[in-house]
Amino acid sequence: MKPPVVTPVRVVIALCLFAPFVAMLWVDSYAKVDPAFIGIPFFYWYQMLWVLISTALTMIAYQLWQRDQRARKADRSEASQNGGASA
């Protein structure tokens, strides 16, 4: 069995999943009151915004992963139909 291959799609998937961690762990970037949004301090609404952003990024990562897996499965079935020869 071959080891997993690093592809551009997989790098994008990793970035989509890694970005929320970086954003939330870098507390100095959002540990402030201003700018307030409808009376809510920046510290709170920034974190709530990242809940929505994280959801969107996870959905994108999942869709990309599904597409990648379908493509890999199609490549494997094509290779087996061609007698194991790979292009």
- For 15-41, the pLDDT digits (tens) are 999 999 999 999 998 889 999 899 999
Tens digit of each residue's pLDDT (9 = 90 or more) over 38-83: 999 999 999 999 999 999 999 999 999 999 999 888 877 777 777 6
Closest by Cα among 25, 11, 14, 26 to 57: 14
* Contact between 43 and 31 (Cβ < 8 Å): yes
* Contact between 30 and 43 (Cβ < 8 Å): yes
Does the pLDDT value for residue 84 go beyond 70? no
Length of the chain: 87
For the chain, the distance separating the N- and C-terminal CA atoms, rounded to the nearest angstrom, is 17
Q: Could you tell me the pLDDT band of residue 10, with boundaries at 50, 70 and 90?
A: very high
Q: Which is more confident, 85 or 42? A: 42
